[in-house]
Each structure stands twice: as C-alpha cells, then as structure tokens.
Amino acid sequence: MLLTVKNLKKYFPQKSGLFSKPALPIKAVDDCSFTLEKNEVLGLVGESGCGKSTAGRCILRLTEPTAGSIHFDNRDLLALSSGELKDIRKTMQIIFQDPLSSLNPRMTVGGIIEEPLIVHHRGSPIERKEAVAALLDKVGLPQSALNRYPHEFSGGQCQRIGIARALALKPQLIIADEPVSALDVSIQAQIINLMIALKEELSLSYLFISHDLSVVKHISDRIAVMYLGKIVEIGPAQQICLDPLHPYTKALISVIPEPSLHRSQKKTILQGDIPSPARPPSGCAFHTRCPVAKEECKKREPILEEKRSGRSVSCLYVNKKV
C-alpha cells in the first residue's frame, strides 16, 4: 500500500466576534479513511465545500490535519521532522486547478521547471538543463518554451508546465487538484490523455480530485465520493458510475449533463442547497436533501462499511450483500 489515510480530520477554527458566542469550527474533512496502491488512480469527487481539496492538502502537509494518521510508503507522515518532510516531498507532488496562477509570473518556464532540482540540490547546472529539456519533451512542449514566460502560454500549455514541474523530482504520488476543470473541452482531453500516458510510463499513482464525475470515472481505478467532509461511497470506478448505491451518488450521476440525446436514466434533482460544513445536519449529513430519507436518518449516523465486495457505502438503507 502506497498511501493509507486513517480517520483524517481537518477542522478550521472560525474567528468569533468580540461579543458573540464562540463560532463552530468548519469541519472541512471529518473522519475520512482511504488507501491508494502503487500505480493506482483514486478519484476523489464531490461538490464545492465537501473537503476534497483540503484532504489532498493534508496529505501533502500543506495544511496540518487536526487528527488522524497518514502513512506513505510505510512512513508516518505526521511524525516527520521538517528535514524528513523536505525529503519526502520529493516523492509527492501537486498539480493545481488554475494553470496560470500556479506558475510564478516573474519566472521563465525553464526556471520554474528547474526549481525543484535546485531546491533539492540535484545535479550540476548542465545536468539540470538537460533534465529540464527532457521534461519539456515528456509533457509535449517545444524547447523554445524554455526562456519564455507563463503569460505567453495558453491554459493547456501552462498545465503542461505545471505537470513538468511536478514530475521533475520523479515522484511516486501526484495529487491532482481539479487539474482539468479550468481548461477548454478540447484541451481537457489532451491533458487527461497525457496524465494517463505519464502514469503508465513512470508508474505514478494519482489522487485525482475533481467535481466532474465523468472525468474522474475516465481516469480512475477507484472512486471515493465525498459529501460534507465525509466519504459516502468508495469503490471501483465502473461499478460506482454504472450502479451507484448511495442515494447521493445516484442523484449526482443522474444529473450529469451528457453530450448525447439518448439518456436512459431519469433525473433525480436534489432540492435545496449544500448545508454549511460548520453546521452539518444531525444523523446522516445528507438527510436534508436525500430523496429517500427516513425518520431514522435524522437520528443515527451511518458508518462507511463494506456492502458489496470492494465497495463501501455510508447509508443506513443500503443492504449488505457481500
């Protein structure tokens, strides 16, 4: 197992006013557990505010988790010293949603891709230049990009630069935080295909975070669906998309607009808004919007348990058939 996340929690304290009651913390990630194997892609899906990005950042220790444990390559990430942390960061990298804002506008593309090598004192300047040239090739950018600046490139090309930077240290795990959401449709497919090809070639593992279930399904081996800081369903990608068990996953899949006129499924449009993660509803957090909620759901909190082989669902009314 490359990555094991257990009972991960991240609460953001909120500032309270001088005279008001102390504000409740925002439970961005609330008791999440999942694993990721070598050369596997785990898709983390959910709507805004469900905590998927925070979970990714906790794994990289870009934010400090409130509780839980994260093991990477059999090492406890939360027990590392800052020196060890710098060392382990070589093996985990991140790709961002907004390709342009993830690149320093005042550095050349060559400088951006070379930086990780400088930070970790890899090779002589000449060797580094060669490495950068090879990385440009790998992500499909021309060598002429080297001395140019990010603002001269399109969104898709900037994303390629971001990927080249992430690959520079030859990581094992890449956390991709909505890597194609800001791109044009025809460019999305290019980046997805590039990421799949790189995964095969360099035997990478991805934690692929996105709100777009169709993209996630395409690239992932397994999918975890999050709602209000909790994982509601996790299992193999095809099974989740073709036969969702949790009512939330079912509804989500039914309303994904598809570019075709032959829809078989009936739409289940969820009513109401996503509740605030500072005040999640009692019992099952989804009961306020769930089309099949019963009285029991308001009182008892479901736990994520295996209901089919390899598939875990957190719903009181999904029967166990293992």
- Stretch 246-275 residues interacting with other proteins (CB under 8 A): 251-253, 255-261, 263-265, 267, 269-274
Binding to other proteins, residues 191-210 (CB under 8 A)? 192-193
Stretch of 9-17, 105-113, 294-302, 312-320 lying at the interface with other proteins (CB under 8 A): 105-113
- Helix/strand/coil for 223: strand
Are 251 and 267 in contact by the 8 Å Cβ rule? The answer is: no
1 binds other proteins (CB under 8 A): no
Cα distance between residue 176 and residue 43, in whole Å: 10
Taking residue 11's Cβ as centre, other Cβ atoms within 10 Å add up to 18
* Rounded least distance, CB 47 to other proteins, Å: 4
**Interface residues for other proteins in 122-161 (CB under 8 A)?**
144, 147-149, 151-152, 154-157
104 binds other proteins (CB under 8 A): yes
Subset of 61-90 contacting other proteins (CB under 8 A): 62, 85-87, 89-90
Find where tokens 């449709």 sit: 185
Instruction: Identify the helix (H) or strand (E) that includes residue 119.
Output: helix 109-119
Q: Minimum distance from CB of 108 to other proteins (Å)?
A: 8
Nearest 5°: phi and psi at 222?
-130, 155
Q: Which is nearer to other proteins, 134 or 197 (CB)?
A: 197
Residue 41 binds other proteins, judged by CB under 8 A: no
> Closest CB to other proteins among 265 and 282?
265
Contacting residue, 27, 52, 165, 287, with other proteins by CB under 8 A: 165
3-state secondary structure at position 275: coil
Judge whether 236 and 222 are in contact, CB under 8 Å: yes
Cβ contact 88:106 at 8 Å: no
